[in-house]
Amino acid sequence: MSDDVSQPVAAEPTLDSAVEDVIGDIEPTSEEDQLSLEQEAQEPSDSLEDQEQKQLVKKLKLKIDGQEVEEEIDFNDEEKLKAHLQKAKAFDKRAGEFSQLKNQVGEFVGQLKENPFMVLEQMGMDPEQLVKDYAQKIIERDAMSPEEQEKVQMQDELKRLKDERENLTKQAQEAELQKQRNEIAQTIEKDINEALTSAETVLPKNNPLVLKRVAETMLLAMQNGYPDVQAKDVIPLVEDQFKKDLASMFDVLPEDTLENVVGKHNFDRVRKKRLSSYKKKAPKKAEITDTGKSSKAEKSTKSSKSTSYSSFFSFQDE
């Protein structure tokens, strides 16, 4: 037996151990350095994602009606960006419409100055009768005393002010009414979509035709003595009517036309769903093979499976 004692083999240095050795040899040279290191360790560093998000927040200098303003734009805020773009597009459209209207009014005023009688005739008026009526008013006014003329002027001014006030009131009422209609429409649309989400229905959300049909059905119910009707109350009726309408149309269409209307991809979806359902419902071969050794419980299980299989393919029960 050898007396030699094997010496332990030193582990080969690795890059990690070398880095740890170097870092371990570095110590703060003062209390201030130590405090600074502790603060840096406690302060959470911004992640790369946070830094990227901060870079997408920009301050832009804009010039509006000759005045320079500064506005912060967050390119992460998709809703705000969409709102700004929609306003800009709407303004461009309104500006184009205003410019076109301004040109039309300018042309009309130019034609009116150049040949007023022709323009009046184009508007369906009788220039000769207008001149006679105007001359008659001048004659009647000149026949009045100064007091009577002042009284007539005051009456005309009062009438003008009254008409102007009534027009402003009417415009304000119409604007308020339109605002209320828009708010009610948005509320109804939101309620219908929420009802469609919570209800067990095949009707899609945010579909204009579905929203219109549900709203019309609700209005019909209100007009027939059900003022408290809600969207969830009429959704089953609307769904049933949609199914009947589609069925009545599909029943009379030839197969080729039906495929064109519904779409081949939708036929493929239905076929795949039926195959998938069949694979889930169909019993395994071992379950339907009668070996003569099955227990009564197994036979009962097979019987119940056979019943559910038959109910799945409803045409077998007919």
pLDDT single digits (tens) 3-51: 454 454 455 554 455 445 544 444 545 555 555 555 555 555 455 556 6
pLDDT for 164 equals 93
Residue that is written with structure tokens 């219109």 in the block:
212
Distance, in Å, from the CA atom of 14 to the CA atom of 63, rounded to the nearest integer, reads 62
The rounded Cα 144 to chain-centroid distance in angstroms is: 66
Q: What is the DSSP letter of 115?
A: -
- DSSP per residue, 150-200: HHHHHHHHHHHHHHHHHHHHHHHHHHHHHHHHHHHHHHHHHHHHHHHHHS-
Task: Name residue, tokens 């209005």.
Answer: 219
Kindly report the pTM of this predicted structure: 0.36
Task: Please report, to the nearest 10 degrees, the dihedral formed by the alpha carbons of residues 193, 194, 197, 201 taken in order.
Answer: -70
In this structure, of 48-52, 108-112, 169-173, the range with the lowest mean pLDDT score is 48-52
Spatial separation of the C-alpha atoms in residues 130 and 120, rounded to whole Å: 10
Amino acid at residue number 253 = L
- pLDDT number for residue 317: 39
Q: Residues with Cβ < 8 Å from 317, sequence gap 6 or more?
A: 310, 311
pLDDT number for residue 135: 92
Q: What is the mean pLDDT of residues 100-117?
A: 90
